[in-house]
Structure 1
Amino acid sequence: MRYTYRLFQQILQLIQRHGLNTRQLHDLAGWTVVVTLALKTGNVQAKDNPVNTSLWTPQPSMSTTYKTSPPIPSQELLDRNLKYAEGHQPKVGDANFGHMPDTAIICCQDCRLNPTKQLGLADFDTAIIRNAAGAVTELTRSILIAQRWGTKHFVVIKHSDCGYFQITGKHLIIEDFKARAKDPNAIDAVVDKLLDLDPPKLSVDDLVLHDVNYLKESPLIFPETKITGWVFDDHTGKIRQVV
């Protein structure tokens, strides 16, 4: 028993020192049960098996960065996928749905935004919800599903060089669609939903405040849910909180 007590003392100290997230605590709990059972049966000695801190050592991202992208579809694409699959760490079934992240980032679909990399997030720690300009008014289904799976904090991120600011009026979108679409009149049914704001009159901070307030006032958002708003500067790579 003294070995078990000493082991738990070590674990408590490491938790306080490193600050574990939900997934890491879950992994640690399972590992602790195994070690405790082994100690009781005499299969191992705690003094010969110090606590393995690799369980909560930050793991490198599984993503590999390439200078160019392969054609889609192509054999090169499949080859790169096979290379990734060699180190793939599956998280499926109960391992996933029982331990979903409690934070979700809402941001633009612009490929220059890579929240996981730019904010130094660990794999599987944060859900990412995206669309054009990261407009929350078009994300009702995604937001409801995120809350269903445990999201308690929505992080709204806009970026300074967003293409949304390059749109001078929805009439340009309508004209472009009618000139190229199979059915030019199909856009008439959704024209009122194209732009609910006038980009040239808004700053990026204004957009953040608009979306944060929209979520806070929405009856679909749980009362305890936290909403924060941020701006990512495409020029400097830095992020700042607006609200």
Structure 2
Amino acid sequence: MSVHLVTGAGSGIGAAVAGRLLERGDELWLLARDAGRARELAGRFPGAKTLVGDLAEPARLSWALGHQSPPDRLDSLLHVAGVVELGPVGDLTPKIWQETLAVNLIGPAELTRLLLPQLRLSRGHVVMVNSGAGLSASPEWSAYAASKHGLKALADSLRGEEHANGVRVTTVYPGRTATPMQQKVHRQEGAAYDASRWIDPASVATAVLTALDLPRDAELTDLTVRPGH
């Protein structure tokens, strides 16, 4: 039985990935930002275990995990959580920049650092669910795109550093996906939201599991997923 830790399992792509892993009988750990969220996730995913740690406060993650009992070994760490706030550079405050970078980049970097011993032990896999914005930045997407460009850099560096330890690293770049985050983006863009126009989160989950299940003789380093219509 493989052991996985997923962030962002409360909705969208993270929920789709968590559901698929649980369905196939794997051991599932879910990171929750607080105890209330942990109870909610435990109720939604029966049999899953939870850890409480807020990605928005990366400096406190070490303390938080140190007062809990993370898994002794970890076959995969799946970074799916993320936040978005659109706006022109002239309007974005340091608070927005700091929150975006904390959750989307610094939090994942710190969580990876803390769990690397367990990943090395299992010759595990780190999957970063990035975004098309991690490859190209559009107007009013500067903070989000900067955090996602940084996440690509984190993955690329980590892959080179941990290759000798047998740890695989995959970045998945979904296009617009039918999630609550996408609904928020449409509101900020002043556009009507039609979920049928965008990728189903289950399709992105399939891409993630494809990378995880690839035989050990190969590694999917970068996967771009785009709407099919």
TM-score by length of 2: 0.33
TM-score by length of 1: 0.32
